[in-house]
Each structure stands twice: as structure tokens, then as C-alpha cells.
Amino acid sequence: MSDADSPDRITVYSDYVCPFCYLGRESLRQYQATREDELEIDWHPFDLRSQKRNPDGTIDHSVDDGKDDDYYEQAKENVRRLQEKYDVEMDLDIATDVDSLPAQVVSYYVKEHYDYETWLAFDEAVFDALWQDGADIGDEAVLVELAADAGVAGEEVRSALSDEALREEVRRTFGEARQQGVTGVPTFAYDGYGARGAVPPEHLKRLVEGT
């Protein structure tokens, strides 16, 4: 396929446990629905819990990350406001107790080894499982089921989750995102320009089309 025939792509940095990433993807979906041509998502994982992780990758919830009760209450209010704006129902407002690293590892594996449609199906299923159903996307059994629905075998999921080299590769992508100036998610990037947050569809249109 020549470059002229290749689908347009927007880079998206996100973390599955970020409610604004879920809402931002809905905004992107609404913008995509207005386009004649396909706009693929070039997903890059981002770890909002990186400062709270132990050397083995588990989360130390006792680490002070500067986010107090007032911060989370304001975040919940913002989530509810955007839910109404984008007409999205969500089972949760915040997912502070869910670890997204396993889901990001599996998603990264699927992106690297399968076609775009398979990755997208898994990616959307992970988002929906957490924010629509309140499922623990850090649980291996949940990820196996979601992957199977997307056409990925369970043994591949279990192998990916136990692959320390793969996990380290994903961790490196987190560092690369920060080196590129990504400090929060969602971050959308297109042709050297960027937009951070669950921005509305018309903002994404301006980012991509310049209008």
C-alpha cells in the first residue's frame, strides 16, 4: 500500500484507568463519524501510576502523589460534566484501585502482533469493561476473556503477562512518552501539533484538519 493509500493516523497517549481517556476516545469517535476517510489510532501507553510503583511493578498506594480527596472530588465533577456533554453513561467516575499495567502490556502485545482491527477491538473492550461494567482490567482472567472476544488466544495473553522482556519494553514506552513532553493523558498528537485532555470533537477536527 502506498503512503497515499494509507489511512490517516492520529497518535493517542492514554492509560485505561484514566476516565478522561475514555471520554476523550468518545470525543474522537464522534469526530471520526463526521469524516469520510478513516482515521486510525496510533496508541501509545502511558502509566499514570508510575510514581507509585514498586520495583516489581505492583502499586504502593501509600505513596503520596499529591492527589487528595479534594482533587478526586473535582475530577469526579469534571467526569460527570463531560459525560453529560458527550452523552456517555459510565459505571464509574474514578478507578483508583485498578491497575492498568497488565491491560497495557496485553494491548501492546496485540498491537505489535495483530492487525489494527484486532487491536482496536481489544482496546475498546478494555475501556468498556472498566468504565461500563466496572470490571478489574488488571485481572488475568478478565483480560483473557476480552482478548478471546477480539480473536486473541488465551495462552498468548498469559504468555504476554509473564514475559518480563515485554513488560520492560512497555515500561520503556512510558519513559519515551515523557521524554517527548507527554505529562498527562489523554494527549492527542497530529503532524507535530498536540491537544491534551478530553477535548471536544471540534477541537480534534482543528487539530487534524486545521479548520
Average pLDDT over every residue of 131-160: 98
CA separation (Å) from 89 to 79, 80, 92, 153, 200? 11, 9, 9, 30, 17
Residue range 76-97, pLDDT digits in tens: 999 999 999 999 999 988 888 8
The arithmetic mean of pLDDT across residues 37-44, rounded, is: 96
Looking from the CA of 168 toward its CB, the CA atoms found within 13 Å total 4
Q: Please report the domains of the chain, with CATH numbers, ordered by start residue.
A: 7-59+67-209 (3.40.30.10)
pLDDT score, position 7: 66
List the strands of the sheet with 193-196, edge to edge.
39-45, 8-14, 187-190, 193-196
Overall residue count recorded for the chain in this entry: 211
Q: Which helix (H) or strand (E) holds 122?
A: helix 116-131
**pLDDT above 90 for 145:** yes
Question: What does the pLDDT average to over 140-160?
Answer: 98
Q: Looking at the DSSP assignment, which residues form a beta bridge with residue 11? A: 42, 189
Amino acid at 170: V
- pLDDT value at residue 131: 97
How far is it, in rounded angstroms, from Cα 113 to Cα 109? 6
For 2-35, write each residue's pLDDT tens digit: 344 556 999 999 999 999 999 999 999 999 999 9
* Residues 43 and 123 sit within 8 Å (Cβ to Cβ): yes
End-to-end CA distance of the chain: 28
| pLDDT for 1 beyond 70 | no
* DSSP result, 59-114: B-TTS--S--HHHHHHHHHHHHHHHHHHT---S-S--TT---HHHHHHHHHHHHHS
